[in-house]
Structure 1
Amino acid sequence: MLLFLSCLPLTAQTAKLDALFAELLTADEAASQRVEADIWLEWSKSGSAAMDLLLQRGRDAMANGQPEIAIEHLTALIDHAPGFAEGWNARATAYYQTGDFGPSIADIGQVLTLNPRHFGALSGLGSIFEELGKPAQALEVYKAALAIHPHASGVNEAVQRLEAQLQGSDL
């Protein structure tokens, strides 16, 4: 019984996220922004005030143009909460900001293992593939993001741009 009770918050979060993702698929562009914000809010809840603080410190450091400091905070978060996908996602973003695409891609892999619906991680991976000159891979990943979030910011434009670029070439 104790094990069941300890799983209730996670189950509630999953049910809430399931409902939000269902809504995201049918929302118009304006409504999708609200739903997306609600999803990010849920993703940002680790279940620990200390871990949430490390996530916030990492995000604040990135916002202040200090991705190296963000990486330190987010590595501490991941060390203490390796099952918290948003810690990995935030660190992937910090690595991206420093131009360290290899570690960013590795962290995105962890995010998608823990949270396969993470449209933000997919979008980030698409951006990395574009910067690495891999348009076919970028297009594939962007389309996967759109399957989850049809109005993801900038992703429709990226798909149109890459489809035009790849038109007539072997995918």
Structure 2
Amino acid sequence: MRAPIGPFDNAVPAPDCLAELTAPVAEAVAGWAGDVPAGQILYVDTDPAIADTGAFVAHYGQGLLGQSANCVVVAAKRGGEVTLAACVVPSGGRIDVNGAVRRHLGARKVSFAPMETAVELTGMEYGGITPLGLPADWPLLVDEAVADMPYVLVGSGRRRGKLIAPGKLFAEIPGAELIEGLAP
């Protein structure tokens, strides 16, 4: 099947290719219970060497920049305690870590989580972290612009492959909070 966005001629419903996903992502897809049917979550195979946004859109088309999102793991600190959270923002934007994220999480300081921590605690590969399958106790902040996109391309949990899903799906992920201006 052809993907609804991008130059991908072989899009497969994610429930039909769970073996291509990391365990936490496969479990989230298999157990999906949102209003958007799980069959609308599509998997497309992509080159893992160009998983990072800049290289990806240079290869697959600049138009994907406005149709994709990044999932970033942050560490919020307050009173000696650290809370990990994930933020989903349009790929063309910059996450407002020291403004919107810090205020929403009630933190004194917020920074990007160390790569090793993000990889270990998500069970996903760096450069492929996706909001589906994140630890259930993490806050998940989703920029409203992502939920408003007709379709969104995001990581699949691995550097190889991407997921494409209707934007409204990201507001349906358990624990997701829509935030205006997360990436102004």
Bin the TM-score by the shorter chain: under 0.3
Larger helix proportion of the pair: 1
Larger strand proportion of the pair: 2
TM-score (norm 1): 0.26
